[in-house]
Structure 1
Amino acid sequence: MVYIMRFYTDGACRRNGQPGATGAAAAVLMKRGGGTSSWFKKLPANPRPTNQRAEITAIIIALQQALVLFRTLQTDPRLDITIYSDSRYAVNCMNEWVYKWCSNGWINSAGFEVANRDLIEEASNLDDQLKEEGSVQYKWIPREDNQIADELCNQVLDDLEC
């Protein structure tokens, strides 16, 4: 038996990387019957929020929720998880770069420590756990195809500014 999960993720940051920046991340699970479940998180003030940190945090939320859902199942199905993101950076981190960075001691091609290493390592560890139970794929989608997660992120940011 296969248990299919499809998540749409998005991260956003207002005043990206600047003093007073606020960031949020969201993950939306599309249910078979057409409904959704959603989760979101406000990014902490330190380290300073950026769009890239928000996008990776959104993937972490999806991975965490996939693990929670898997652990509540009464059966032991094979997982088939797809995480959609409109961030090429986040998708490339999970599909390609994380493997190179691990083998290079977390040094990027310019010779510096990888930015957002803390979050990328966390996402990679969750990814490893889920891949023991099946497959996890990360797919880039255009922003216009990610409106449900984008709207949730913006709603969280709007609420933070009130």
Structure 2
Amino acid sequence: MKQEKSAVIKALEALKKSPYDIDLYTDSNYVINGINSWLEKWIKNNWKTSSGKPVENQDLWQRLYELLKKHRVKAHWIKGHSGHPENEYCDKIAKQEALKVKDEKK
């Protein structure tokens, strides 16, 4: 889940001008719910979940929140590994990049 948030952060950081109208598509329900439902509640609750626990990866969510404020982002969920061409392409690239990082650590 950490990777999905990091990918969205990197994509938004790559945008040099703002604001942009962005349609964000992901197969991560966690990212979608975080953006569309939970972020505002977490902020109001001083970065605590509805059960009173600290939000996991708060630093990433805070970075993402700051980037989301610069753009108009609509987050959409798509089913992963279901033949969606763009999702399959992104999955392929993500695996390739993960292998590069793994090889660099050797």
**RMSD (Å), alpha carbons:** 1.5
In the alignment, the residues of structure 2 paired with residue 60 and residue 109 of structure 1 have an alpha-carbon distance, to the nearest angstrom, of 24
Q: Give TM-score scaled by structure 2 length.
A: 0.84
Percent identity, aligned pairs only?
Answer: 31
Could you list the per-position Cα deviations for residues 41-62 of structure 1 after superposition, in whole angstroms to 9, with x for gaps in the alignment? xxxxxxxxxxx11111111012
Q: What residue in structure 2 maps to residue 55 of structure 1? A: 4
More helix by share: 2
- Residue 97 (str. 1) matches residue 34 (str. 2): no
- Residue 137 (str. 1) matches residue 71 (str. 2): no
Unaligned regions of 5+ residues in structure 2, if any?
none
- Residue 161 (str. 1) matches residue 97 (str. 2): no
Contact 1:62 1:83 in 2 (8 A): no
SS for the counterpart of 2:23 is strand
- Higher Cα Rg, which structure: 1
Q: What residue in structure 2 maps to residue 4 of structure 1? A: none
Matched pairs, number: 99
Question: Displacement of 1:65 after TM fit?
Answer: 1.8
In the alignment, the residues of structure 2 paired with residue 85 and residue 104 of structure 1 have an alpha-carbon distance, to the nearest angstrom, of 26
Contact 1:56 1:119 in 2 (8 A): yes
Could you list the per-position Cα deviations for residues 130-159 of structure 1 after superposition, in whole angstroms to 9, with x for gaps in the alignment? 2xxxx2111111113211111111001222
Q: Give TM-score scaled by structure 1 length.
A: 0.57
Unaligned regions of 5+ residues in structure 1, if any?
1-51, 72-77
In the alignment, the residues of structure 2 paired with residue 92 and residue 61 of structure 1 have an alpha-carbon distance, to the nearest angstrom, of 19
Contact 1:64 1:126 in 2 (8 A): yes
Instruction: Spell out structure 1 runs of 4+ moving beyond 3 A.
Output: none
In the alignment, the residues of structure 2 paired with residue 112 and residue 93 of structure 1 have an alpha-carbon distance, to the nearest angstrom, of 15
In the alignment, the residues of structure 2 paired with residue 118 and residue 160 of structure 1 have an alpha-carbon distance, to the nearest angstrom, of 22
In the alignment, the residues of structure 2 paired with residue 137 and residue 53 of structure 1 have an alpha-carbon distance, to the nearest angstrom, of 20
More strand by share: 1
- Residue 151 (str. 1) matches residue 92 (str. 2): yes
In the alignment, the residues of structure 2 paired with residue 139 and residue 61 of structure 1 have an alpha-carbon distance, to the nearest angstrom, of 18
SS for the counterpart of 1:115 is coil
Q: What residue in structure 2 maps to residue 39 of structure 1? A: none
